[in-house]
Structure 1
Amino acid sequence: MVDFEWYRSFCEIYKHNSVSEAAKTRMMTQPAMSQHLASLEAKVGEALFIRSSRKIIPTERGKELYSQLAPLIESLEETTMSFHAASLPTITVIKIGAAHEFFSEKILPQLLKFNAYTISHFGTADQLLELLTEDTLDIIVTSKKIQTPGIEYLKLMDEEFVIVAPSHYEIPDLDDLKKKEQWLSALNWISYGLELPIIRRIWREHFKRRPIIRPIHIIPNLHMILKAIENGVGVSVIPTYIHKQSVNEAQSQIIFEELKVKNELFIAYKMKYKRLPQINEIVRLLTNHL
């Protein structure tokens, strides 16, 4: 007789291509997870994965089994969560966390539609995840997807970052990537932090090395950085959803638009609250309007 838990473990291993990652998700030890897989393979009569040094890859039989099992497992878990949610007390106040700038641009316009009282908290991705893990927050928007037991992530959107400069800057017509880097490096830079967040990403992705830049100002607020750019202070890296109006009104401009990077943003929340109406409503409003 097949143990239902073998199926659940198999589906998690399939999704993560890793026994160790699946074990973390299910809050099991790796040997126990491996035993579940071995028992299921013995029952099926053939291997469900091909093992390699870095990950495991499903066999054709494994793919076939997953396509049959996944909808059934999800349906059973949804039913269980629905019954569990019905027994939970209603949350009258939702504690929501996000970066200050994202909240201002994307969440604030939707607050009128929220069918719940909210307490907002602003911080970095690491800070918000820690608060969510500790139950200090109920739902967060984050750029980091760290597999943590009991927390579920849902892809929200991609945010795109570009280099933005004062409108009066004259941009040279350069085709050579090295010359672009040299020209950019000589500019006055404004950074969100000393470690050059996002600026470092652009250099690594496009110039294949760390930037040799000493920012003239550190301003940990993207709206204020944009204002400084508009005032002619220097250049920086800004997400497109923040600077769009500034560029349209010719208060700033994009430098070398091809030198851009993207971040994935996720909604994260405790799985135990997954079926609560207030959480579902906030998720629906954000995903439908971004």
Structure 2
Amino acid sequence: MSLVRLRTFVEVYRQRSISGAARTLNLTQPAVSQHIAGLEMSIGRPLFERQTRGVIPTSVADELAADIGDRLDEAENALASVKARSLELAGALQIIGHADFLAEVVAKQLLPLLEVGVRVRMQTGDYDAITQSLIEGYCDLGISAAPSHDTRLKSELMLTDEVMAVASPQVVTRLMNTPDTLAAMQTEPVLAYSLTLPLIDNWFTANRVQAPVILPAMVGQDLRALCSLLCQGFGWSALPAYLCTPYIERGELREIPAPIARASRSYYLLWQPSALRQPRVAHARQALLFRLRQKHGL
């Protein structure tokens, strides 16, 4: 059975689209259709039901996809890694992620890539923007605080960081001097990443406290903006350790002691499998995962 046809099948299966697979594989739609027809002839059963928009896999396609699993991707990753050691890596690498994480964590790990000629282009966005940019091919790698649930993308854990409740030293002192610190926190202005309060709710949950209904005084998707306001003595927030630890060490922020435990937050590297055919993308993915896992003991 042709590996080329199997690769075509995998892309059509993932994208549920002949045209989408054709764009990803840089093939014509008739060529993709011929590959699928050839497989169907070999198997003797239809793999997809053609619809007005896209295709629907048959049970035979589901079984074939399960049998293939990630083996094709793993083989292509290995080949790309070998090529990366022998071919010129120069070119632009498009990375998209949360602004503060890119600035405070990822940027510090880019020097080895820059030194071998990879030109890095960083863009910022929320989870929806990250996944959409990867799916549409505008970016090569994405970094998010949530894994991808889209079958067209792969994701892998990069690191897990602690989440601390923090405020300026004077605010923490005031909160700690109240009879009930947790109750006092609920009356203090809150600064958050979004209206859904993901980090703050995680902190309350880790400490077995029913998360209260809170309307944030400020919402900002670059957490460094929250730090700037906290340092001026306004409100409190729950922030990842990678961001607030330097502020704590300088005495600009102070941790509000957790009654039970700090919360945690995981960060994931996301990519479209076909992107790894580019040696620089395969090399960058491997390098970032290795360096960040090594640094954070994963």
Task: Please name the residue that 2:59 is paired with.
Answer: 31
In 2, are the aligned partners of 1:190 and 1:236 still within 8 Å (CA)? yes
Q: Which residue of 2 aligns with 1:242?
A: 243
Return the offset for 1:208. Answer: 5.1
CA deviation after TM superposition for structure 1 residue 152, in Å? 1.9
Q: Contact 1:99 / 1:124 at 8 angstroms: preserved in 2?
A: yes
Unaligned runs of 5+ in 2: 7-11, 17-55, 293-298
Alpha-carbon spacing, 1:204–1:188, altered in 2? closer, same or farther (3 Å): same
Given residue 229 of structure 1, which amino acid in structure 2 is its aligned partner?
L
In 1, the alpha carbon distance for the partners of 2:93 and 2:186 equals 44
* Cα offset, 1:275, TM superposition: 4.6
Q: Give SS of 2:185's match.
A: helix
The one-letter code matched in structure 1 to 2:95 is I
Identity %: 15
Query: Which among 106, 124, 131 is matched to residue 122 of structure 1?
Result: 124
Q: Matches of residues 126-165 of structure 1 in structure 2 within 5 Å?
A: 126-165=128-167
- Could you tell me whether the CA contact under 8 Å between 1:81 and 1:272 is conserved in 2? no
Give me the whole-angstrom Cα distance separating, in 2, the residues matched to 1:79 and 1:192. Answer: 39
Q: Matches of 1:90 and 1:247 in 2, distance apart?
A: 39
Of 269, 272, 284, 1:270 maps to: 272
8 Å CA contact 1:162–1:259 kept in 2: the answer is no
1:187, CA displacement in angstroms? 1.6
Equivalent position amino acid for 1:226 in 2: C
Q: Take 1:199 and 1:233, find their aligned partners in 2: how far apart are those partners? A: 16
Q: In structure 1, which of residues 267, 275, 284 is the aligned counterpart of residue 286 of structure 2?
A: 284
Partner of 1:102: 101
Report deviation, 1:166.
Answer: 0.7
Ranges in structure 1 where 5+ consecutive residues have no aligned partner: 9-22, 41-68
Q: Shift of the alpha carbon at 1:230?
A: 1.3
Structure-2 separation of matches of 1:83 and 1:201: 41
Tell me how far apart the structure 1 counterparts of residues 102 and 65 of structure 2 sit (CA, whole Å): 43
**3-state SS, counterpart of residue 285 of structure 1:** helix
> Residue deviations 1:36-73, cap 9 Å, x none?
699x9xxxxxxxxxxxxxxxxxxxxxxxxxxxx99xx7
Name the TM-score, length of structure 1 as normaliser. Answer: 0.68
Question: How many pairs does the alignment contain?
Answer: 237
Q: Distance in 2 between matches of 1:286 and 1:36?
A: 32
- The CA deviation at 1:147 is 3.2
Against the structure 1 CA distance between its residues 233 and 280, is the aligned structure 2 distance closer, same or farther, given a 3 Å change threshold? same
The alignment yields a C-alpha RMSD, in angstroms, of 3.8
Structure-2-length-normalised TM-score: 0.66
Q: Are the equivalent residues in 2 in contact too, given 1:163–1:235 (CA < 8 A)?
A: yes
Q: Which amino acid aligns with 1:264?
A: S
